[in-house]
Amino acid sequence: MDIKEGFAEGKALDIMQTQTTLGFNTKVVGSTNDYSVTAGSDVVVITSGIPRKPGMTREELIGINAGIVKTVAENIIAHSPDAIFVIVSNPMDTMTYLTLKSTGLPKERIIGMGGALDSSRFKTYLSQALGKPQNDIHGMVIGGHGDTTMIPLTRLATYNGLPVSDFLDAAALEKVAADTMVGGATLTKLLGTSAWYAPGASVAYLVDSILNDQKRIIPCSVYLDGEYGESDICIGVPCIIGKAGVEEIVALELNEEEKALFAKVLLR
């Protein structure tokens, strides 16, 4: 679905033409502004809006994207009242909160995608610093989806079950965390616009966990109602994601430093 004439139809046709090479059998359709085509959706991913240009923060997009996301969410809900919403448009945490408030949906059905991507960037930088395969590394990023608000949890990151701090000194871990936090800005500078392969893969990972009830733990921006000592805000925390959407918010035992970082993020 796009507002630009023919664009979504073209994307759908392009994706359809990957079927024999990628080996799937699915009908893919696109539509310009006709929301009736989306009727009865189980999961809706909102990516509408403008991306940032080099040097911009995600927060600078709020003026334009707030109106777009609100309009899109209201049109979608009118045709798919039972859908689970995945919000991608930036500033993602704020857009997630806005969607929750403008649709009035239960909090379990509104999920902001940012932590999945930030965590995979974190694992890429850890893998480079360790010189070890990414798939042997686990780690997550909580907090906000912003250059200064992400909290890469280096203390809890592991390489094949062992703390990464057994292999990397504090300076190396600090550099990994700093690179992760500006991971999106680094790509925007290189590409001239927002990245798309890793964001697309992270969305697919999240949607797969919902549709196939995988119950994966994925850091997502969700509405807090007392969890982590906070209320009435959407922010990144680890969640169990399954067919009901956010099935559980996982309560991590944060240390004092991490708790202070989390509290600071909420003040920004």
Ligand X SMILES: NC(=O)c1ccc[n+]([C@@H]2O[C@H](COP(=O)([O-])OP(=O)(O)OC[C@H]3O[C@@H](n4cnc5c(N)ncnc54)[C@H](O)[C@@H]3O)[C@@H](O)[C@H]2O)c1
Catalytic residue ranges: 145
Measure the CA–CA gap between 131 and 24, rounded to whole angstroms. Answer: 35
Figure out which of the listed residues 80, 89, 120, 154 binds ligand X, where binding follows CB under 6 A.
Answer: 89
CB 127 within 8 A of CB 133: yes
For residues 202, 191, 94, 212, the Cα torsion angle rounded to the nearest 10 degrees is -10
Figure out which of the listed residues 199, 219, 236, 245 binds ligand X, where binding follows CB under 6 A.
Answer: 199
Figure out which of the listed residues 47, 80, 94, 120 binds ligand X, where binding follows CB under 6 A.
Answer: 47
CA distances in angstroms from 72 to 45, 97, 114, 264, listed in the order given:
11, 14, 19, 32
Measure the CA–CA gap between 151 and 145, rounded to whole angstroms. Answer: 9
Nearer to ligand X, 60 or 227 (CB): 60
The reply to whether 121 sits in an annotated binding site is yes
Taking CB under 6 A as the rule, does residue 48 contact ligand X?
Answer: yes
Measure the CA–CA gap between 241 and 66, rounded to whole angstroms. Answer: 26
Copy the structure tokens of residue 65.
Answer: 């994207």
Q: Which stretch binds ligand X (CB under 6 A): 42-50, 103-111, 121-129, 251-259?
A: 42-50
Taking CB under 6 A as the rule, does residue 52 contact ligand X?
Answer: yes
Figure out which of the listed residues 194, 218, 228, 249 binds ligand X, where binding follows CB under 6 A.
Answer: 194
Taking CB under 6 A as the rule, does residue 76 contact ligand X?
Answer: no
Copy the structure tokens of residue 145.
Answer: 């989806």
Nearer to ligand X, 154 or 194 (CB): 194
Strand blocks (E) in 5-109? 43-46, 84-87
Q: How many CB atoms lie within 10 A of CB 98?
A: 22
Figure out which of the listed residues 117, 150, 176, 207 binds ligand X, where binding follows CB under 6 A.
Answer: 117
Nearer to ligand X, 90 or 168 (CB): 90
Amino acid at 119: S
Positions in the binding site for ligand X (CB under 6 A): 1-4, 7, 47-52, 61, 65, 68, 71-72, 88-90, 92, 113-114, 117, 145, 193-194, 196, 199
Q: Which residues are annotated as a binding site for NAD(+)?
A: 2, 65, 88-90
